[in-house]
């Protein structure tokens, strides 16, 4: 991936349940999030809304950006295990 892997977070707006929110993620995580949404054949905002709902059910919910990073790590690790 090269030296750009250490690019600072990029802020983007996403609509969740009808409300606009800003999320700051490193470009790598935006790319992985887009890939996961494409695989699921759903808009990225819909996937983010699902991740948000899951994190809010947790006993110790992380911030949304952290929840997205954790969800993506779990998603890609689980895929590796099924390959």
CATH number at residue 76: 1.10.3990.20
Helix (H) or strand (E) holding 22: strand 19-25
> Distance from CA of residue 82 to its chain's centroid?
21
Residue-wise pLDDT for 30-75, tens only, equals 999 999 999 999 999 999 999 999 999 999 999 999 999 999 999 9
Number of domains in the chain: 1
Residue 53: other Cβ atoms inside 10 A: 11
Residue 1 pLDDT class (50, 70, 90 cuts): low
Domain that holds residue 56: 3-82
């Amino acid at each position: 991936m090269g030296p750009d892997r250490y690019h600072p977070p990029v802020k983007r707006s996403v609509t969740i349940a009808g409300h606009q929110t800003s999320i700051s993620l490193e470009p790598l995580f935006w790319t992985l999030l887009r890939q996961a949404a494409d695989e699921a054949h759903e808009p990225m905002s819909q996937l983010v809304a699902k991740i948000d709902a899951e994190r809010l059910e947790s006993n110790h919910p992380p911030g949304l950006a952290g929840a997205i990073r954790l969800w993506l790590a779990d998603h890609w690790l689980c895929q590796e295990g099924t390959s």
